[in-house]
Amino acid sequence: MSADAKPFVAIIMPALNEEGYIEAAIASVTPEDDGGIDYELLVMDGGSTDRTAEIVERLGEENGRIKLLANPRKIQSAAMNIAARDASPQAQYLLRADCHSHYPEGFAERCVAALREKGAASVVVTMRSVGRGCLQKAIAAASNSRLGNGGSAHRRAGASCYVDHGHHAAFDREAYLALGGYDESFRHNEDAEYDQRVLRSGRRIWLIGDLAIDYFPRADFSALGRQYRNYGWGRANTLMKHRAIPRPRQILPVVIFVGNAGALLLAPLVPEFLLVPLLYAGLCCGWGLALALKAGNVCTALSGPAAMVMHLSWAYGFLWRLLLPPATEAGGLRNRPGPAPG
């Protein structure tokens, strides 16, 4: 690259049936034409059956740098890897974008600038959940609270620093390819697994603490439960692959799940055990009511039940992965990569 050439970034957006979100997401993440970077935007479609492809093709007619590519494996890890290999040879940097997110002005420019300034393998950012309808707003409130996120550093704004994990935003392309990209046996938690390999290689991850994206969570409890079951499965898969010890905030949902399940099984013999799930439900619902009073929004009261769905579903997926028979593990994760996307 010549000294006066703009840095070139490939913006990669995995998509599957995202007609309700994708146009706004593309509009928010697309850099300004007169900005400090050049780009292409690759939408990696996993076989959408709604209007997703039609919307992207229309946007591509308006802006030739927006392109629709196929992702035969459907999952996000494969989408990133295909695009990382097939992006323009000019692209020194990769930016991962999510259809369910809204990006602040200058997002891509700031991520690329941080990669260049810090010499990091990747840049991560903070994330806050937002909602449209009443229940989605409650789920967002749960996700933003310590009850829902366990105090994860990338779920709250703070100082910029080197970290061991965060919400994936941008990558040095050379480092990404050298590390083999995402592990495609992971349908979920591929980001945390990749971060493990980044750190073990001696490379570093930079968190831009004051750069946050808005994320639209699932809008109903059923979809939320499936999502968090998959998150739990993926986290256990990462820990097992790298023989890592879970953190206290990752153990706590499992303790809650086992404690409540055990109490319900014993309740027919000793009715007092029903106090365990009742106490847990009461604490979560009380937390939700407190958040609702603080926010002055009655919808937020449902954040307590939302947190319960998140805790129990995550723990279920985590335990499911731990209890997979050794034969499945030995046969290769690619042959049975866990829960389907959802």
118-165: pLDDT as tens digits: 999 999 999 999 999 999 999 999 999 988 887 676 667 678 999 999
Q: What is the pLDDT of residue 153?
A: 66
Q: What is the pLDDT of residue 332?
A: 30
One-letter identity of residue 171? F
Work out the average pLDDT over 207-219.
94
Asked if 80 and 181 count as a contact pair (C-beta separation under 8 A), the reply is yes
Whether the model pTM is above 0.95:
no
Work out the average pLDDT over 291-317.
96
pLDDT digits (tens, 9 = 90+) for 65-104: 999 999 999 999 999 999 999 999 999 999 999 999 999 9
Q: Helix or strand or coil: residue 8?
A: strand
Res 217 pLDDT > 60: yes
pLDDT bracket for residue 341 (50, 70, 90): very low
pLDDT digits (tens, 9 = 90+) for 30-79: 998 877 899 999 999 999 999 999 999 999 999 999 999 999 999 999 99
pLDDT digits (tens, 9 = 90+) for 228-285: 999 999 999 999 999 999 999 999 999 999 999 999 999 999 999 999 999 999 999 9
Q: What share of the chain is helix, strand, coil (3-state, %, to 5)?
A: 50, 15, 30
- What percentage of the chain carries pLDDT values higher than 70? 92
Domains defined along the chain, listed by start: 8-218 (3.90.550.10), 237-335 (no CATH)
Q: What is the pLDDT of residue 334?
A: 37
Distance CA 104, CA 280 (A): 37
CA dihedral 133, 138, 144, 145 (to 10 degrees): 170
Q: What is the pLDDT of residue 159?
A: 86
Q: Helix or strand or coil: residue 74?
A: coil
Q: What is the pLDDT of residue 158?
A: 79
